[in-house]
Amino acid sequence: MRQTTRRALVPLVALALLGAACTTDDNDTTDGDTSPADTDAPEETTAPGETTAPDDTVEVVQGAESTLDAVIAADVVRCGTRDALPGFAVLTPEGDHVGFDSDFCRVIAAAVLGDAEKVEMVDLKTTDRFTALQSGEVDVLVRNTTWTASRDGGEGATFLTPTFYDSQGIMVGTDSGFTTITDLSGVIVCVAQGSTTEGNAADEATRLGLDWEVRAFESVELIQEAFIAGQCDAWSSDRSQLVSLRSEFPDGPEALTILPEVFAKAPLAPAVADGDTRWAQAVNWAVLATIQAEEFGIDSTNVDTFGDTADISIQRFLGLEADGDGGPAVFDPGLGLPTDFAFQVISQVGNYGEIFNEHLTLLGLERGLNSLWTDGGLLYSPPYR
């Protein structure tokens, strides 16, 4: 009998702990006495990320080791990515990762370590990507991830400059007869688990007053299987993902139609873990260098010809000797990156336009919002000085 009573005590104790943990949030204003749970409530009901966001930028703990130093010491950048999204990141049978996001991983490696191949690609599932970043398994996440407020806040990620400004769309079978989003009533819409697309789809259904059942799947392969089997009527994701997956559909791209309506902003940006400003800024400027290079007209084919340019801003950018106040000197903004990091990035990987053209143009994606600000798009790099 002793064993059973002991065994019975454990769930009771656990339940008691559970109850205690769960009830501390509910005592807001109705409880007039200063019960212990009450005094705890004010601290716990404010969202955890709230109190720290404004201070984040100045909260660099002096003396703590930044990921930048750890990466330089380890001589490899661990980049969180995926293995099967055509155009963005695909694992070839030879074992290389090829794609838009994979190239940006190489951009970071070229900038920080001087060699674009010193990158270790870590394939992550959609549901695991933030915990991998938080726990330090990867140094940076370049995985067509949408920048949202809650991810900056409670999820412990810091998003950098977006590499792809996107929005969410819906794809249906061509023979289903749906031509516009308002046709979709009483349908099953399939999305990927753990992504913003789930919540966005539900919100959009409510906004339009349509009756959608949103089913989430663990991976795009499962969505494809379900779609082919007829379990899904529509497939919702970032438009760039839809274009990419449509291009590889087994029955051919003509079997799928992407509906013209888009909803919900989806800026895809690289992310690093919270609390590490040096690393965040280093990665950010590595990415911005590709945009700035396109603005200057520098690409991987002509970067060597700029050795004797007279343009001071290009000289500073490429880490060449520039005439400054105290005589000729190489410009070092103090980011912790080598002075010629932009040169390495452009010569080893390429500028933004080259990366885009090599991977995304053949899928049918146009520059659109992802053009330079001089062409009416959103890509704008702060000045390098």
Partner 1 sequence: MDRRRPALLAAVPLTAVLSTRVPLWRDVRVLKWVLQLVVVGLVVALVIWLYGNYVENTAEQNIPTDFGFLDNPANFQITGNELGANQPVRDALYQGLLNTLRISVAGIVAATILGTLVGIARLSSNWIVSKLATVYVEAVRNIPLALFVIAGLLVVVLGVFPTIQEAWNLAGLAIISNRGVAVPWFVGAGFGLLAIGAVAAVTAWLAARWRSSVSDRTGVPPRSGLWASGAFLVVFVIGWVAFGYEWTLPELDGRQTVGGIRIDPSFFALFFALVIYTASHIAEIVRGSIQAVPRGQGEAADAVALSGFQRMWYVILPQAFRIGIPPIGNQHLNLIKNSSLGAAIGYYDLTLVAQTTVGNGSPAVPVFALTMVLYICISLVTSLIVNYANRRSALVER
Partner 2 sequence: MSATAHRSGALVWARRNLFRSPVDGVLSILFGALSLWLVYKTLSFVFVTGRWDVIRVNLRLMMIGRFPDAHVLRLAITVVVLAAWGGFLAGFIRARQIRSGHASDERVPLVARLGDVAARLWLPAVVVLLLLLLSSTAGPWIIVGIAIVAAIIGRLVGPFAGRPKLGPVGSGVVVAGLGAVPVALYFYVVTAVGFDDWGGFMLNLFLAVCSIVLCFPLGILLALGRRSTLPLVRVVCTTYIELVRGAPLFVLLLLANVALGFFVPNSLAPSTSTRAIIVFTLFTAAYMAEIVRGGLQSVPRGQIEAAKAVGLSPVRQMGYIVLPQALRNVIPAQNGQLISLFKDTTLAGIAMGLFELLNVAGAITAQPDFRGQGLIGETITFAALLFWTVAFTMSRESQRLEKRLGVGVR
* Footprint on this chain of partner 1 (rule: CB under 8 A): 4, 7-8, 10-11, 14-15, 17-18, 21-22, 24-25, 44-45, 47-49, 52, 64, 126-131, 134-136, 150-151, 154-156, 186-188, 193-194, 198-199, 202-203, 213-218, 222, 225-226, 229-231, 233, 273-276
Q: Which stretch binds partner 2 (CB under 8 A): 130-138, 140-148, 295-303, 325-333?
A: 130-138
Query: Computed over its alpha carbons, how large is the radius of gyration of the chain?
Result: 25
**Cα separation of 133 and 136, whole Å?**
5
With binding defined as CB under 8 A, does residue 135 bind partner 2? Answer: yes
Dihedral of CA atoms 328, 334, 339, 343 in degrees, nearest 10, equals -120
Which one of partner 2, partner 1, none is in contact with 187 (Cβ closer than 5 to 8 A by kind)? partner 1
Helix, strand or coil, per DSSP, at residue 212: strand
CB of 18 to partner 2, least distance (A): 15
In the block, tokens 């074992």 appear at 95
Which one of partner 1, partner 2, none is in contact with 117 (Cβ closer than 5 to 8 A by kind)? none
With binding defined as CB under 8 A, does residue 71 bind partner 2? Answer: no
**Cα separation of 288 and 15, whole Å?**
51
Residue 52 or residue 92: which is nearer to partner 1 going by CB? 52
In the block, tokens 């769960």 appear at 22
CB of 19 to partner 1, least distance (A): 11
**Cα separation of 297 and 352, whole Å?**
11
Helix, strand or coil, per DSSP, at residue 23: helix
CB of 333 to partner 1, least distance (A): 25
**Cα separation of 363 and 120, whole Å?**
26
> Residue count at the site for partner 2 (CB under 8 A)?
23
With binding defined as CB under 8 A, does residue 132 bind partner 2? Answer: yes
Which of the residues 84 through 123 are near partner 2 (CB under 8 A)?
A: 84, 95, 123
With binding defined as CB under 8 A, does residue 125 bind partner 2? Answer: yes
Query: Where on the phi/psi map is residue 55: left (φ > 0), alpha (ψ -120 to 50), or beta?
Result: alpha
Residue 156 or residue 169: which is nearer to partner 2 going by CB? 156
What length is written for the chain?
385
